[in-house]
Structure 1
Amino acid sequence: MSNERRVNFGGKPVTLMGKEIKKGDIAENFKAIKQDLSEFDFYNETEGKIKVISVVPSIDTGVCSLQTQRFNEESTRLSDEVFIVTISVDLPFAQKRFCGAEGIDNIEVVSDHKDLDFGNKYGFTIEEFRLLSRGIVVINQDNEVEYIEYLDEVTNHPNYDKALEEVKKLV
């Protein structure tokens, strides 16, 4: 498949499936599952907002947990115009347990486990594990991608400061 890309997961190469998105692309709508098992419709939930999509393989791992906590904390310092969503393929039940235990209540945490709709449309699906790779996507109010980071090594932290700098430019 011509749109496959390689990244590393724990130092071993894995394949990312889906189309790589770039700055200037129009962000596609996607559907995911909320913690109460209702549908999360990206366009409907974020209309007119600056959007940050924090992409993690599993909230039950150290880096993913810290990434989710960091964006939950940062959201309190950002404008109400900013909508932050963390997405993983964890089951909604696990996400709900994690959010309750860690006090994650300022951002939305949703699951792409059912259809990998986000992962395939945004190029974050790891073929070998059926997990999402790590990254950040910043999208403006008109659904145009302003910033995207796909990590070369999935187990590393993303560049939080650069993503937040891009968000602040849009406010």
Structure 2
Amino acid sequence: MTQERTGAATFKGDPITLIGPKLSAGDPAPDFVLSKNLLEEATLKDFSGKIKLISVVPSLDTGVCDAQTRRFNSEAAELGDEVVILTVSADLPFAQARWCGAAGIDRVITLSDYKTNAFGEAYGVLIKEFKLEMRSIFVIDKDDKITYVEYLGEMAEHPNYEAAISAVKSLL
């Protein structure tokens, strides 16, 4: 049975329900299968041996999600080759590619959970009411253990960028 966390977050002050467990630092990172495009998929194992910062956003076509992805794209250059930054949303891969091209995003890898929402359920970020994913950050070490988690309480707020980047740097 899928876990539902009623009132775990809000959207413009109204309670929303998140589907899936609330993960914590120390937990093993759940595996995932996400779409790179219509034909290619990516799994956690594809990033084996790397430090992973997973930035989860509801939709790249919104102001906070746009800013969040741009911020992590600019931070990526400073973090080096041992780190990969993934942005996950339920946006269609076409929309992600279009947005990245228009925004000049070239260091963040966008991945889509539009087919199954399985990532959202496994990471506890699937919003029941919208079938989008709640803004959150996961830092995963080279051994696929979660070392940092931030679940935002309000969908329209920014994550703590500095804390997430510090968590990545502590693993370098």
TM-score by length of 1: 0.96
Q: Distance in 1 between matches of 2:74 and 2:38?
A: 23
CA distances 1:88-130 after superposition (whole Å, capped 9, x unpaired): 0000010010000001111100100101121000000000000
Which AA in structure 2 matches 1:80?
A: D
Which residue in 2 is equivalent to 1:28? 30
Q: Distance in 2 between matches of 1:31 and 1:24?
A: 22
Q: Distance in 1 between matches of 2:9 and 2:19?
A: 11
SS at match of 2:34: strand
Which residue in 2 is equivalent to 1:49? 50
Q: What is the CA-CA distance between 1:3 and the residue it aligns to? A: 3.2
**Aligned Cα RMSD in Å?**
1.2
* Bigger Cα displacement from structure 2, 30-39 vs 81-90: 30-39
Q: What is the CA-CA distance between 1:37 and the residue it aligns to? A: 3.6
Q: What is the CA-CA distance between 1:65 and the residue it aligns to? A: 0.4
Q: In the TM superposition, what are the counterparts of 1:1-171 in structure 2 within 5 Å?
A: 3-5=3-5, 6-35=8-37, 37-43=39-45, 45-171=46-172
Distance change in 2, residues 1:70/1:60 (3 Å): same
SS at match of 1:85: strand
Q: Distance in 2 between matches of 1:116 and 1:40?
A: 14
SS at match of 2:167: helix
Number of equivalences: 170
Q: Distance in 2 between matches of 1:49 and 1:77?
A: 15
Which AA in structure 2 matches 1:46?
A: F
Unaligned runs of 5+ residues in structure 2 are none
SS at match of 1:77: helix
Q: What is the CA-CA distance between 1:36 and the residue it aligns to? A: 5.4
Q: What is the CA-CA distance between 1:2 and the residue it aligns to? A: 8.1
CA distances 1:66-109 after superposition (whole Å, capped 9, x unpaired): 00111111000102100110000000010010000001111100
Identity %: 51
**Runs in 1 of length 4+ with deviation above 3 angstroms?**
none
SS at match of 1:120: helix
Q: Distance in 1 between matches of 2:38 and 2:101?
A: 13
SS at match of 2:129: coil
Unaligned runs of 5+ residues in structure 1 are none
Q: What is the CA-CA distance between 1:42 and the residue it aligns to? A: 1.9
